[in-house]
Structure 1
């Protein structure tokens, strides 16, 4: 069984590996070792997906988790042995050398071609000097991003693109009645206000009004990537951080560094200790393994028995720090004002078919949370394809597409059905296969719902943010 890690636990694992979350996770959802986390390296700033299992393994081996840092260090080591003369010759040219500039452009084009050959999008070419070229790529099918050597590129583990054009809106397998998202972006699909001023995570107490002036929280959204000033209420440090990060988990870099140091000290101490060194853990031990030989830093799951009688499988450090995960879940379920899948993700609720093994139909989107690990049968709204996975796995960015037609969660068609009806089926991509803010390599064509003879090109942003409709109808109305 996969080890469960809480959101707080994953933050400690990331800090110890020199990483942090690069997107807003759901604090109510824990993680298993097979989840992909979108992270940012605190050393080089490269964003990439890693599994917790991989992160813990590299940390235990003493190797850098960030592949960009790892391969750059590998390059430097290789040059120290084989290519010192080449490195010197390359550095003598200087940044303004036109020959080096031309060589860089050529290397970028070459990297783009190779990435496209393997169904990747080149995010950035990190190193194109002596040694192996290091690139950051993103799979065009599943969105998984990673750093690697250019010539290590191979097919993504997701299998590559599947039917990228998708299903036309007119041929949608199942239409679901839904309210159209506000065109001004003032409300998220869950019904929560998008404005930072309405955030309840406590981040507004950190807002540095003096340094941010004249900027105010009411002009920013909670998921904004804009860097603004914050001030720690504990140590009073003023620092810059993106809005989305602080709305999820307000934290101070200086206090975090102190916590990381304490965590490292505790971790080093745990390395010299076994489960048997902790009387409470030894009393709760219910596994066949010998507790006198199991290290406190072991990342494998073991069986415990809690005072209530639950038998969770957890890592020793997880049980010591967080207690029985079943008891934690029971406390969470007993909390008032809970929200379930129907409220948090109406689109997932619309694709819900049934829970595996639930013949009586006890579990529905109205009593199951988005973080649930129950096996659910889903039916794609666009193509009708059915498959089985858990709600929490569907919520991960890496799994947010239909495996058959490529429909993406939060698509343009789902959020703006009236606009999707005017999407020209001759467009290279279905409105189910792109998001309102997705990058397109073409300007979408539209067909007026009132008069099919009216056809025009216009960006999605113009239609959504600026509420622009058919220009021919608008011209006739103005005349």
Structure 2
């Protein structure tokens, strides 16, 4: 229902089977096609929920979800509720929702809605890209020590790819299964999260399904390992190892009494023992290097000074699930949450103000002072490397009259006020800018211009921009003969875009540059000479040309 932009762009679609309208990325559709799975999440979750209810049989939850409850749940997590996608709607059935922040339509289950829209996901500063100047580059795959390195196909992949690919890369690479030797291609990101062979994985899945089905007809009493640990009141001769979803009591050699399904205990053992092993490994890691296991400085700065009793902040792990009190020193709001939940998903600095952790204001306070009040949110609501639906406006801290627009990543990477910046501007260009200020009263230098009429580029940097009194603008471009000798095409494209945006365009082209093939009443050229510059005289001629097309005294 929307034109194709790029593989990673969200695009509105309508399902040809059920008619549900939702946004999907093209690369997501391609991956689902490869898995022979429905792209439409409404179709997928409807079928999944039916299969789950069929699997649980008489124990399936058939309590309908009231529409009011679903609506309240969606609105609480940043969605507008549109409709239930089944009638009646049970607990695992999908619902049609729209994100209040990015307007993305989706088919989500109640549990998925609780995570919020992915547009509100706020990665920690350590994982954000691009990297600020001086920050260590992202970890290379070859140095990661991950088990997936054994799958890397050194014969099929170039050496340059091996030397440069990172652990977060989404590029395609060649792999070789260490078990069967099959060669295949897959994205690096997918293999890191779940390395699987296209040939071996279906076989393993089939073997697991066959085993699970076989154990459905096998009683616990026939499996010695389960019978030895059985501590439930039911007769083990009547309880099947798998199926039905019932939990039963076991006793492990360490004395724990977990309540789990027989199949889970057979395959995974005692969950308490596994937790103890994980905890022991974690403590050993803390003793070896405690720094990575402390709360981030920003979260620690919000520790409530009086309501946490004898709980020690220094000993609290970032992964702790203990509910404690927090207070934002900026707004004074207080709330309860666990350290683990604070560092997940949206990662809010204050849940009431909806400010975020690792914001521009926290990491770059100097840039935050230049954040314009005309922006729809504050500098505490955006990340230094985040993407916004609007182009942020900035106000120069040195000269408040200088106002410009620039993206967050460009500012975090070191860009400053284009008018105060002299780097990249020739002296002759600066002289003509000063002459324009004398002639017109006010002129901007190096301003970034964006407009919906631009078709060549999304943004152009104009040498000199003048605001005219009747709402029009004048763009003055200085074309040096050395730098613009082979840029006639770019100069023409820039001029035509500016004209389409309603600018009057005057180009000062050094001799012997040829004239551009532009025939438009809002465009003119003046020949200038680098050996005999006359900024005031040239700008005076530009002013006269503007006057001939406008009422005198309109600026």
Q: Give me the TM-score of the superposition, normalised by structure 2.
A: 0.50
Match 2:36 to one of 31, 36, 43: 43
Equivalent residue, structure 1, for 2:265? 319
Match 1:198 to one of 133, 143, 149: 143
Superposed displacement of residue 58, structure 1: 3.7
Cα distance change of structure 1 residues 461 and 159 upon mapping to structure 2, 3 Å threshold: closer
Cα distance change of structure 1 residues 398 and 434 upon mapping to structure 2, 3 Å threshold: closer
Find the aligned partners of 1:40 and 1:204 in 2 and give their Cα distance: 25
Find the aligned partners of 1:384 and 1:458 in 2 and give their Cα distance: 32
Match 1:458 to one of 397, 406, 416: 406
Find the aligned partners of 2:162 and 2:336 in 1 and give their Cα distance: 41
Q: Does 2:419 correspond to 1:472? A: yes
Match 1:61 to one of 54, 63, 66: 54
Cα distance change of structure 1 residues 195 and 55 upon mapping to structure 2, 3 Å threshold: farther
Cα distance change of structure 1 residues 159 and 270 upon mapping to structure 2, 3 Å threshold: closer
Superposed displacement of residue 399, structure 1: 7.5
Listed as ranges, the gaps of 5+ residues in structure 1 are 1-38, 64-117, 123-133, 165-177
Superposed displacement of residue 352, structure 1: 6.4
Listed as ranges, the gaps of 5+ residues in structure 2 are 1-30, 57-77, 83-93, 428-555
Q: Is the 8 A contact 2:128 2:385 kept in 1?
A: no
Find the aligned partners of 1:47 and 1:391 in 2 and give their Cα distance: 35
Superposed displacement of residue 444, structure 1: 0.8
Superposed displacement of residue 287, structure 1: 4.3
Find the aligned partners of 1:144 and 1:309 in 2 and give their Cα distance: 51
Moved more, 263-272 or 216-225: 216-225
Match 1:296 to one of 236, 242, 250: 242
Find the aligned partners of 1:345 and 1:301 in 2 and give their Cα distance: 37
Cα distance change of structure 1 residues 367 and 325 upon mapping to structure 2, 3 Å threshold: farther
Cα distance change of structure 1 residues 418 and 308 upon mapping to structure 2, 3 Å threshold: farther
3-state DSSP of counterpart to 2:107: strand
Find the aligned partners of 1:200 and 1:434 in 2 and give their Cα distance: 34
Per-residue CA deviation, residues 292-328 of structure 1 (Å, 9 max, x unaligned), is 3465234454443321122333333222211112211
Find the aligned partners of 1:463 and 1:197 in 2 and give their Cα distance: 31
Cα distance change of structure 1 residues 450 and 201 upon mapping to structure 2, 3 Å threshold: farther
Moved more, 396-405 or 244-253: 396-405
Superposed displacement of residue 443, structure 1: 0.5
3-state DSSP of counterpart to 2:419: helix
Equivalent residue, structure 2, for 1:258? 203
Q: Is the 8 A contact 1:347 1:409 kept in 2?
A: no
Superposed displacement of residue 390, structure 1: 3.8
Superposed displacement of residue 405, structure 1: 2.7
3-state DSSP of counterpart to 2:199: helix
Q: Does 2:308 correspond to 1:350? A: no
Cα distance change of structure 1 residues 215 and 192 upon mapping to structure 2, 3 Å threshold: closer
Equivalent residue, structure 2, for 1:25? none
Equivalent residue, structure 1, for 2:477? none
Aligned length: 349
Find the aligned partners of 2:370 and 2:196 in 1 and give their Cα distance: 45
CA RMSD, aligned part only?
5.0
Find the aligned partners of 2:242 and 2:424 in 1 and give their Cα distance: 73
Q: Does 2:226 correspond to 1:233? A: no
Cα distance change of structure 1 residues 359 and 184 upon mapping to structure 2, 3 Å threshold: closer
Matches within 5 A, 1:44-443: 44=37, 46=39, 58-59=51-52, 61=54, 119=79, 139-140=99-100, 146-147=106-107, 158=114, 184=131, 193-213=138-158, 215-287=160-232, 291=236, 292-293=238-239, 296-335=242-281, 336-338=284-286, 343=293, 346=296, 349-350=299-300, 353=303, 359-362=309-312, 364=313, 366-370=315-319, 372-379=320-327, 383-397=331-345, 403-414=351-362, 416-436=364-384, 438-443=386-391
Superposed displacement of residue 471, structure 1: 1.6
Q: Is the 8 A contact 2:295 2:316 kept in 1?
A: no
Superposed displacement of residue 229, structure 1: 2.4
Per-residue CA deviation, residues 164-207 of structure 1 (Å, 9 max, x unaligned), is 9xxxxxxxxxxxxx99989636999xx89433333221323323
Superposed displacement of residue 136, structure 1: 8.4
Find the aligned partners of 2:266 and 2:357 in 1 and give their Cα distance: 37
3-state DSSP of counterpart to 1:147: strand
Give the structure with higher Rg (CA): 2
Q: Is the 8 A contact 1:285 1:304 kept in 2?
A: yes
Find the aligned partners of 1:55 and 1:378 in 2 and give their Cα distance: 40
3-state DSSP of counterpart to 1:474: coil
3-state DSSP of counterpart to 1:456: strand
Find the aligned partners of 2:366 and 2:153 in 1 and give their Cα distance: 41
